[in-house]
Amino acid sequence: MIFPLRILLFLAIITGLIFLQIFLSRRESKLPGLILPGLFFLIALIYPLNMAAMPGTSTASLLLQAFLVWLLGNIPTLILLAIYFSCRRKVQRKKQVEKMRIQDLD
């Protein structure tokens, strides 16, 4: 019974983060929309530090594994940045339409 509750809680948190990102990205200023992607990027920098090297592992193998862990840790960052750029594009279009309306009134 606790397993479905955890899934629902996880989905609620993810949905809340997505709506928060959309809200912050639609603000007039550009910076609020970059808070969540920046936070997730910093968290992804910590992931490779939690790796344990097995005896006999080569340095190249360890570096490749650390890079892949970092890359996979940045998937939420990329998703949040995609939301950010999508929302910012809509904000820019809205500004351009408003400028055109003002010019038409003159």
CA separation for the pair 77, 97 (Å, rounded): 30
What are 77-86's pLDDT values in tens digits? 999 999 999 9
The low-confidence residues of the chain, meaning pLDDT below 70, are: 1, 106
Q: Give the number of other CB atoms < 10 A from CB of residue 64.
A: 11
pTM check: above 0.85: no
Domain boundaries, the chain: 2-105
**pLDDT (0 to 100) of residue 51:** 86
**pLDDT (0 to 100) of residue 1:** 62
**pLDDT (0 to 100) of residue 86:** 95
CA separation for the pair 53, 33 (Å, rounded): 37
The candidate with the shortest Cα–Cα distance to 36, out of 83, 73, 89, is: 83
What are 56-67's pLDDT values in tens digits? 889 899 999 999
* CA neighbours closer than 13 Å in the CB half-sphere of residue 24: 18
